[in-house]
Structures are given as C-alpha cells and as structure tokens.
Amino acid sequence: MADPTAYTRAYGFEDFQTGAPTTPLPGLKVDVELDAASSSIASLVNAVKDVRRSDGALKNQIVTPDSLSAASRALIAGGAIVPRGAWATAASYAVRDLVSQEGASYVAVTAHTSGTFATDLADGKWMLIASPYSLSGAVYSEVLSGDGTTTSFSLSQSFTSIDQITVWVQDGSAGYHRMRTDGTSPQVTLSGAAQITFSSAPGSGTRNIFVESANQAAAASAAAAAASASQSAASAASIEGDVVASEAAAAAASGYADAAEVSATAASSSAGTAQEWAVKTDGPVSGSDYSAKYYAGQASAVLANALQAPENLADVADPAAALANIGGLATGGDGSALTGLTGDQIAYDNVASGLVATDAQAALDELAARGLLQVVTASYSTSATLTATIPDDNTTPLVSEGAELLSATITPVSDSSVVLIRATIPMVAVSTSNAAIAALFVGSTCVNVAYLYPGAGNNAGSMVMGHYFAPGSMSPVTISVRIGATSATIYVNRTAGATLGGASKSTLVIEEVAA
C-alpha cells in the first residue's frame, strides 16, 4: 500500500495580494490549490481504506504470520502458561511461568532462581507479554530506532520531567524492558525539553525504542496519514484566510472567495475526520464504529487473555472454530466485555499495544492451527551416472560412504514438535551382480536404508524412504541422502539408455508438525 501524498502549496496568495491589493484572486490558481488539497485528502482516504473495511473493522489478513519472533512462536506452541502472581526475589521460576511486575506481565523464557528483576530481565530470563500502558489511553507515543552507538534521541513533544514519560527498549528475542529513571544504570534521563539520553546506547534495530506518556496534555503528532491530513487542513485554512482578505479588498472577487472558503472548510473537516479514524481512542468515531488504534488496543488484551488461558481455545483443529472460541476470551483485564470486537477483527499495532509480538492474528492462528509448522524441500534433477560405492555388508552405512545426492537443513520452531522425512530416488542398477543402495541420514547418523537388486540384468525402480523423529530443541538439523553401488555403475533420474528429457528428479521433503 502506498503512503498518502502530502499537500504542497504551489502559489503564494499573500504575495499576490500585496502586489495587487485591488485585483481579484486568480481563480485558476485558487482551483489548482484546492484541487491539490483535495487530491491529498483523497489519497489519505484511500490509505485508510487499505487497512479498514467498510464496516469499520480492520481488514482481514492485514498482518502476516512471520511477524512473530521465533521465541514467541515457540512460546505459544509450547503448552499452557502458569500464572504465579507478583514477581518475588529468591523464587524458583520455570519456563512459561507468568508474573506481574510494576503493572506489566512477563513470562519466563529460562528456568532460574530470581535475584533482582531488572538484572534477570536484562539477562533475557523474562519476556514482556503486556505493557501496563498499552490500554491506558496515553495521548502521546513515539517509536524510535537505535543504531547501537547513539545515546541521545529527539522527541516530537516537550516535557518538563522524566517522570512524565515511560521508555521501553527491545532486548533481542527477550522482548521490551522498561528503562530505569532512578539513577541506577542502565537508565534514561530527560536531557532537554524534547530529548532523552540513555546511559548506554540501545542496540541496533528498526522501531526498537518505544516512548509513551499518559500525562502530556498535548496530543502526539499523528501517523503518516494523519500528518498528511493536518498539513492539508492547515494549507486549506491558509487559502481560506487569503480569500477572506480578498473579499475585504475587492467586492468583485466575492464569488471566487465564497467558493474557496467553502472548499477549504470542507477540506479541513475531511482531514480532521480522517485523523480521528486513524488515532481516536476516547470513543466511537461514527455511531458504533471505532478507530484503527482503538481496535488494535482492544486486540492486545484479547491476545494477553488467550496466552494466560490457552485451554479456552477448545477446537484447535479447526481455525474458524478456534476464532469463534476467541469471542469467549474477548474481555478486558477487569472482566468487562470488549464491545464491537469479533474474531475477524483481531489485529495488532505495535505502537498502540506495546506487546513483543508484532502480529496478534498470527499468534491466534498458530494457537488455532496446531498442525503443519513448516516444510523444507530439496531436489536433484540431473540425469547422472555414478560409480561411488556403499558396501553391501552387515555394517551400517556411514556418512562418508557413497555420494551425497540430496541435503537440506531444518531449524525447528518448537522444541516439542515432530519432524517427518520422505525421500524418493529414481535409480537403475547395472549388471546382475550390482546393487543400488540409498541411505538416509539425520546429521551423521544413518536412520534408514533402501536398496535395488538387478536380478537378471538392468533393473529400474524408485527407492522410497521415510523417517520421523522429535528434535527436542530448536537447533538446526541437517537431513541428507547418500547413494552408491556395490560393485558397478548406477543411473539416477534416468533409465539405462535414456534421460527422459530431464523430467525425472529425486526429491527430499521435510515437514515439522505440532506434536
């Protein structure tokens, strides 16, 4: 989706009026400026339509599953979260234990005995699940990007005290952690009215620093769409002022002035309405329809509730049924109903919610699917003649024997999943005393063997092997197929006398499925 086009004024009516105070405004120039403002507002409306349906809800599939971090996907697939209440020092915590600390919710990603929370968080032992400010009605929020060396960052709003803002910094796969302001390192300070300084530079990343405030009276600058609308409205208001001045200077120009004033007022109204559709959070924009930011905030509460009570997703075999079950989870932290939110409206805005995951719908889809997690494939299509050997004896084939035909590496997304392997190799064994042997390896360990004996002469066939195993971790695993003859030549992806136009090929398919 393209960004909205900003309005840029091309003609200075004030300069014209100064030079010719009694001359009517040039109607053609007025039309050009109003057309430009109208075009900018139209592009803003189209941009809103890219993410919003006609019923006011966010569009389906506006976010994608790969937005979730690998750690979040593994955490979701790993089982039920165990609520442990408020965090306590010197306590033993297991993976997936859920605690509250300073109003935020964290889940343990490493089994440990707690010491100081800030230290444990910095060491990557906790992952932020929900920020206490994501649904607090904050009137200011801003996302910044660190480069690993910069310590001072400019803000779009001014403040008088560091206590008026909260600063979160993304800590790799462990999520966001709240920066300290009490003089204990690492900390952040207000080094100017609109500038913050970190005691040590945040890491390099895109949108990895989040600043928000519930106390600042002035509203934040809107997102790109709202900013474009505000610029259009301001320029339109300037045109309106010029038109009013022209009316006072020359009665003959009143027709042009009236038309320009009406158009400018309409442009200003449309821009204000578009901005409300983007960021308004203190009530509906029209009737029972709310803004995109409101729905995003509501969705983060649904995700947090689902993570704390995954057993409520009763029908995980059917995604549609699972999303229907989510309707039963649509309550706020105090148990109140989240009005106007249904399964197909669940989406996520990182700025609005403060969650680590960047896609709530994808997280719920993964909870609902509980099926195929990923597929990795490899193929070999060359029509080859090979003489490498694998002994036809009572020993297990070694990874150093024969010739490697197929190889692929899979990195599991869950430590409790199952990996399924299928390999198919079209082969021909030449001569009556020669056998073709194929061996399947997981790492350097042979897990299956297939063989083809020629019998009375050349014999062709497709050797098929399969295997499954539980990896038990999320470390990369290499799967390979090696082939060899016992004493003579073997053909791969061809017959003894023809290549079949190169259409024949050997394949390796590796699937990871939820256990």
Answer with the residue of higher pLDDT: 255 or 68.
Answer: 68
User: Quick one: average pLDDT of 99-103?
Assistant: 80
3-state DSSP percent of the chain in helix, strand and coil, to 5: 30, 30, 40
The answer to whether residues 373 and 348 touch, using CB atoms and an 8 Å cutoff, is: no
Please list the alpha-helical segments (H only) found in 280-315: 292-308
Q: Which residues on adjacent β-strands are paired with residue 423? A: 465, 508
Whether 312 has a pLDDT exceeding 50, the answer reads no
Q: Which amino acid is at 75?
A: L
If you average pLDDT over residues 307-330, what whole number do you get? 45
Bridge-based pairing state of the strands 82-86 and 97-101: parallel
Please give the average per-residue pLDDT across 151-178, as a whole number: 81
- The region that residue 200 occupies, defined by phi over 0 for left and psi between -120 and 50 for alpha, beta otherwise, is beta
More confident residue, 27 or 508: 508
Which pLDDT score, from 0 to 100, does residue 235 have?
A: 52
pLDDT at 315: 38
Give the residue-averaged pLDDT of 84-97: 91
Out of 193-197, 366-370, 491-495, least confident range: 366-370
End-to-end CA distance of the chain: 38
Whole-angstrom distance, CA of residue 209 vs CA of residue 175: 11
- State both tokens at 423: 């390999």
Q: 345 or 8, which is more confident?
A: 8
Q: Where are the alpha helices (DSSP H) in 174-326?
A: 224-249, 254-279, 292-308, 319-326
- pLDDT tens for each residue of 271-283: 566 677 677 777 8
Helix (H) or strand (E) holding 242, with range, is helix 224-249
Cβ atoms within 10 Å of 187's Cβ, excluding its own: 16
For residue 222, pLDDT beyond 50: no
Q: Classify burial at 93, counting beta carbons within 10 Å of its beta carbon; exposed 0-12, middle 13-18, buried 19 or more.
A: buried
Identify the residue with better confidence: 170 or 348.
Answer: 170
pLDDT in tens, 475-487: 999 999 999 988 7
DSSP H/E element including 406: strand 403-410
Question: Quick one: CA dihedral 226, 229, 234, 240, positive or negative?
Answer: negative
Split at pLDDT 50, 70, 90, the class of 73 is low
| CA 227, chain centre distance (Å) | 24
Q: Is the pLDDT of residue 254 over 50?
A: no
CA distance 227 to 142: 14
Rounded to an integer, the average pLDDT of 183-195 is 85
Q: Which of the pair, 438 or 137, is modelled with greater confidence?
A: 438
Task: Quote the pLDDT of residue 319.
Answer: 47
- Across residues 330-356, what is the average pLDDT? 37
Q: Distances in Å between the alpha carbon of 162 and those of 104, 179, 297?
A: 19, 11, 25
CB atoms inside a 10 Å sphere around CB 98: 19
pLDDT of residue 160 exceeding 70: yes
- Give Rg (Cα) of the chain: 32
Between CA 130 and CA 107 the distance in angstroms is 10
Query: Distance between CA atoms of 254 and 487, rounded to whole angstroms?
Result: 102
Confidence of residue 249 (pLDDT cuts 50, 70, 90): very low
Contact 329, 305 (CB under 8 A): yes
For residues 387 and 489, the answer to whether their CB atoms sit within 8 Å is: yes
- Dihedral angle over CA of 378, 384, 388, 393, nearest 10: 80
The more confidently predicted of residues 1 and 250 is 1
Q: Is 50 exceeded by the pLDDT of residue 348?
A: no
Is the Cβ–Cβ distance between 101 and 87 less than 8 Å? yes
Q: What is the mean pLDDT of residues 276-291?
A: 75
Cα–Cα distances in angstroms (integers) from residue 244 to residues 9, 35, 239, 248, in the given order: 18, 19, 9, 7
Cβ contacts of 416 within 8 Å, gap of 6 or more: 77, 78, 79, 470, 514, 515
How would DSSP label each residue in 87-111?
--TT-EE-TTEEEEETTEEEEESS-
DSSP output for 452-478: E--TTS-EEEEEEEEEEE---SSS-EE
Token pair recorded at residue 232: 């259009």
Residue 256, pLDDT score: 44
